[in-house]
Amino acid sequence: MEKRMFGIILTILGIVGLIMAANSFVNTHGGNRDVRMIIVYGLLGIVFFSSGVGLIRNTKDVKSKNEEVS
């Protein structure tokens, strides 16, 4: 369950990074875009999002010994 929660956190961070990259791309501030900032936010967003989704997808739920079977 801990791996799945970590995957959810990574996915959310990836979404935030992609939103920040899109926001920086759209807001030009007088025609001057900071391309490095857009690339860094975009790359980190893609890496976090893909690793979080992969971690969620590949983690299997295992019942613990303390859970009762109903």
pLDDT top residue among 56 and 60: 56
Is the pLDDT reported for residue 38 higher than 70? yes
Q: State the Cα angle at 8 between 56 and 64, rounded to 5°.
A: 60
pLDDT at 62 over 90: no
Three-state SS at 28: coil
What is the spatial distance between Cα 37 and Cα 68, in angstroms, rounded to a whole number? Answer: 51
Q: Is 46 in contact with 18 (CB distance < 8 Å)?
A: yes
pTM score, whole prediction: 0.77
> For the chain, how many residues are written?
70
| Tokens read off for 34 | 């900071």
